[in-house]
């Protein structure tokens, strides 16, 4: 009768179970991201096969998700996962005669990777972020192989059907095999370009998580936290790359404000209206310190500049007292490094507080062709039109922004502003 | 690993190429020949050809299994393939490194890198 009573117990203690579950989830996430990348790297090393290694690690994570919430996290979670992954690999290899040699090798290999072994996760990251793979596949593969996400978790983090994510991963791994994408660190000539690729994957991951934070979707994994963790890992493994530290600073500074980004009702609050007392002072100090460390390396780049802009916002006592002049200067240097219509849009916003909304509006209007499909272009234009006293045009722009906007929190913000504005 | 590098150009650049003055054409061919020579010496090039322009192309298209001959390339595209090289290298990165140094064609030239089926 055990099954029956436990089922009944589960119903009765749903709330307690939920609490316990949440605690386990956080612990599981921490264990997975510590272990998954090492495990995958170690197994690629033994098996010489990225696809198989990645697959069996994923299987071991799924097995852990089934067992650990009930049995508790084992004392040596890494060894548990390794044993499970290894067993699974042996199963797969036994079925295939071509792998006889690998099988023998695997059966001789110790249970856990040697502690002295150099951290091979960097190679893993660079392989997952190879430019020959579509960027969305790079993101999914990095989350799975390096941070220990399951396919289900990636799907829920990106609000995608699980089948879509699974197919992306299968396709990417097939391409790695078919096109012979090497499992190695890029050489010196390629390194700068390839690192840029890795950083843009990490930043994309971060933004995806950061924007949807506070939204109702309950998630086992927090994408923004994991992106921060991954960037920290790259920073540890490549300590002399200023832009990696710049990105880490940028993420740290943005996360420092996250408590103020949503009000009690779950509605999004933009920077000018945020309660600055809710900002995390320690995290801001840490972000600024990271920026100084990066700056000392004398190799400036777009992430450091964006970090510096974030720092100026974080250190301003109020929206009005922000050092807009300095922010405009930083946006100008960003334009010289990595010009894009979006950067120009942001510069125009800063300019509006420094040189007036009319001038900024002129600059924003010049971007109409390039940014017509971007909701924040229309939302920014609407705010500027409000300030120049053209509510009817502002309303029109805001409606267009709403049409283009997907994110629920941003949509609700636009809708609130629309309700407040008078109808034409 | 064997790959085919397919060299393409935009239709406009292809047009410019065909009307290039003698000495500029010669200089362009020299850099292309140098690329082929260098990579052949290191044993990375297995084969390759330059193709005549798309205006010389003829397509045989099958309709319900019956061949129909028409003038021109089989797809109307903004890019035209001008030649190809078959290369034998260690992995995709090495093939991409070769593709990145390809000198032939306009500023907007394209190189597609595809692995060959090896049996």
CATH code of A418's domain? 1.25.40.10
Q: Contact, B6 vs B99, CB < 8 A?
A: no
For residue A225, is it within any domain? no
Q: Superfamily assignment of B2-115 in CATH?
A: Dimeric alpha+beta barrel (3.30.70.1060)
Cβ <8 Å between A181 and B93? yes
The confidence score (pLDDT) of residue A6 equals: 40
A111 touches chain B (CB under 8 A): no
The confidence score (pLDDT) of residue B118 equals: 85
Cβ <8 Å between A181 and B96? no
For residue A90, is it within any domain? yes
Shortest CA gap A189–chain B (Å): 10
Residue B115: list chain A partners with CB under 8 A. 178-180
For residue A32, is it within any domain? yes
Cβ <8 Å between A190 and B90? no
Q: In terms of CA atoms, which chain B residue is nearest residue A194?
A: B93
Residue A126: list chain B partners with CB under 8 A. none
Cβ <8 Å between B91 and A180? yes
User: How confident is the model over A317-338, as pLDDT tens digits?
Assistant: 999 999 999 999 999 999 999 9
A105 touches chain B (CB under 8 A): no
Mean pLDDT value of segment A211-221: 58
Q: In terms of CA atoms, which chain B residue is nearest residue A181?
A: B92
Residue with tokens 């193709």: B51
Cβ <8 Å between A186 and B115? no
> What is the number of domains present in chain A?
2
A267 touches chain B (CB under 8 A): no
**Rg from Cα positions in chain B:** 16
**Closest of A296, A295, A297 to residue A311, by C-alpha:** A295
Angle between helix axes A135-145 and A162-178 (nearest 10 degrees) is 100
User: How confident is the model over A42-93, as pLDDT tens digits?
Assistant: 999 888 889 999 999 999 999 999 999 888 889 999 999 999 999 999 888 8
Q: Which domain holds residue A68?
A: 17-106
pLDDT band per the 50, 70, 90 thresholds, residue A349? very high
Shortest CA gap A40–chain B (Å): 21
- Rounded to whole angstroms, how far apart are CA atoms A381 and A360? 9
Cβ <8 Å between A181 and B92? yes
Residue B97: list chain A partners with CB under 8 A. 189-190
Cβ <8 Å between A190 and B93? yes
pLDDT band per the 50, 70, 90 thresholds, residue A20? low
The confidence score (pLDDT) of residue A395 equals: 96
The confidence score (pLDDT) of residue B42 equals: 93
**Closest of A193, A198, A298, A312 to residue A244, by C-alpha:** A198
CB atoms within 10 A of CB B56: 10
Q: Contact, A413 vs A387, CB < 8 A?
A: no
Torsion of CA B71, B77, B80, B84, to 10 degrees: -100
Residue A186: list chain B partners with CB under 8 A. 93
User: How confident is the model over A143-180, as pLDDT tens digits?
Assistant: 999 999 999 989 988 888 999 999 999 999 999 999 99
Measured on CA atoms in the order A75, A78, A81, A83, is the torsion positive or negative? Answer: negative
Strand extents, DSSP E, chain B: 2-10, 45-50, 58-63, 66-71, 79-88, 110-115
A399 touches chain B (CB under 8 A): no
Q: Running DSSP on this structure, what letter comes out for residue A421? A: S
Shortest CA gap A135–chain B (Å): 17
Shortest CA gap A184–chain B (Å): 10
> Higher model confidence: residue A338 or residue A309?
A309
- Rounded to whole angstroms, how far apart are CA atoms A127 and A142? 9
Half-sphere exposure of A349 (CA within 13 A, CB side): 19
A-interface mutation test, from B96, B116, B118, most A Cβ less than 10 A away: B96
The confidence score (pLDDT) of residue A3 equals: 39
For residue A76, is it within any domain? yes
Contacts of A256 (CB under 8 A, 6+ apart): A279, A280, A281, A283, A284, A287, A314
For residue A375, is it within any domain? yes
In A182-261, which ranges are continuous DSSP H helix? Answer: 188-212, 223-237, 242-256
Of A71, A106, A141, which residue constitutes the final position of a domain? A106
Measured on CA atoms in the order A294, A295, A298, A301, is the torsion positive or negative? Answer: positive
Q: How far is CA A245 from CA A238, A256, B41, in A?
A: 9, 16, 43
The confidence score (pLDDT) of residue A95 equals: 83
In this complex, the residue of B91, B113, B115 whose CB is nearest that of residue A182 is B91
Let me know the angle formed at the C-alpha of A175 by A57 and B4, rounded to the nearest 5 degrees: 150
Of A61, A87, A106, which residue constitutes the final position of a domain? A106
Mean pLDDT value of segment A106-130: 75
In this complex, the residue of A178, A182, A189 whose CB is nearest that of residue B115 is A178
Q: Nearest 5°: phi and psi at B10?
A: -70, 155
- Rounded to whole angstroms, how far apart are CA atoms A202 and A247? 9
The confidence score (pLDDT) of residue A274 equals: 95
Supply the mean pLDDT for chain A.
88
Of A106, A134, A159, which residue constitutes the final position of a domain? A106
Cβ <8 Å between B92 and A179? yes
Q: Does position A11 have pLDDT exceeding 70, yes or no? A: no
Let me know the angle formed at the C-alpha of A33 by A28 and A35, rounded to the nearest 5 degrees: 95
Q: Does position A266 have pLDDT exceeding 70, yes or no? A: yes
**Closest of A245, A227, A47 to residue A146, by C-alpha:** A227
- Rounded to whole angstroms, how far apart are CA atoms B104 and A379? 45
Residue A132: list chain B partners with CB under 8 A. 92, 96
A192 touches chain B (CB under 8 A): no
- Rounded to whole angstroms, how far apart are CA atoms A140 and A156? 12
């Amino acid at each position: 009768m055990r099954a029956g009573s436990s089922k009944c117990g589960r119903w009765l203690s749903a709330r307690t179970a939920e609490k316990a579950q949440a605690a386990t989830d956080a612990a599981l996430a921490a264990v997975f991201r510590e272990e998954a990348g090492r495990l995958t790297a170690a197994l690629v090393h033994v098996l010489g096969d990225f696809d198989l290694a990645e697959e069996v690690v994923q299987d071991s994570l799924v097995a852990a998700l089934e067992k650990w919430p009930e049995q508790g996290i084992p004392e040596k979670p890494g060894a548990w996962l390794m044993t499970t992954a290894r067993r699974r690999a042996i199963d797969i290899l036994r079925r295939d005669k071509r792998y006889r040699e690998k099988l023998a090798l695997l059966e001789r290999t110790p249970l856990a990777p040697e502690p002295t072994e150099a951290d091979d996760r960097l190679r893993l990251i660079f392989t997952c972020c190879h430019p020959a793979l579509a960027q969305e596949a790079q993101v999914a593969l990095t989350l799975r192989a390096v941070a220990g996400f399951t396919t289900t978790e990636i799907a829920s983090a990106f609000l995608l059907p699980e089948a879509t994510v699974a197919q992306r991963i299968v396709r990417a791994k097939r391409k790695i095999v078919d096109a012979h994408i090497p499992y190695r660190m890029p050489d010196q000539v390629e390194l700068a370009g390839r690192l840029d690729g890795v950083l843009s994957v990490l930043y994309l991951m971060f933004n995806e998580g950061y924007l949807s934070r506070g939204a109702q979707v309950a998630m086992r994994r927090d994408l923004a936290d994991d992106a921060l963790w991954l960037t920290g890992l790259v920073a540890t493994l490549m300590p002399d790359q200023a832009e990696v530290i710049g990105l880490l600073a940028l993420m740290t500074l943005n996360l420092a404000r996250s408590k103020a980004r949503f009000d009690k009702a779950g509605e999004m609050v933009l920077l000018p209206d945020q309660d600055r007392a809710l900002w995390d002072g320690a995290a801001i100090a840490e972000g600024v310190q990271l920026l100084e460390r990066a700056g000392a390396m004398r190799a400036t780049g777009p992430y450091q500049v964006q970090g510096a802009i974030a720092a100026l916002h974080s250190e301003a006592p109020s929206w009005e007292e922000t050092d807009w002049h300095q922010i405009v200067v930083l946006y100008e240097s960003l334009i010289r490094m990595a010009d894009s219509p979006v950067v120009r849009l942001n510069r125009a916003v800063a300019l509006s507080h420094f040189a007036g909304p009319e001038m900024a509006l002129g600059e924003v209007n010049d971007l109409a062709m390039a940014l017509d499909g971007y909701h924040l272009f229309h939302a920014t234009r609407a705010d500027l039109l409000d300030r120049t006293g053209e509510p009817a045009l502002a309303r029109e722009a805001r409606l267009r922004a709403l049409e283009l906007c997907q994110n629920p929190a941003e949509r609700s913000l636009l809708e609130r502003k629309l309700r407040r504005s008078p109808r034409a | 690993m064997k790959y085919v590098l397919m060299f393409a150009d935009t239709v406009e650049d292809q047009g410019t190429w065909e009307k290039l003055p003698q000495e500029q054409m010669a200089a362009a061919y020299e850099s292309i020949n140098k690329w082929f020579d260098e990579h052949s010496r290191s044993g990375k090039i297995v084969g390759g050809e330059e193709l005549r322009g798309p205006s010389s192309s003829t397509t045989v298209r099958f309709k319900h299994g019956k061949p129909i001959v028409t003038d021109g390339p089989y797809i109307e595209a903004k890019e035209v393939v001008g030649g190809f090289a078959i290369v034998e290298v260690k992995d995709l990165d090495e093939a991409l490194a070769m593709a990145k140094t390809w000198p032939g064609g306009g500023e907007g030239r394209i190189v597609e890198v595809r692995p060959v089926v090896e049996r």
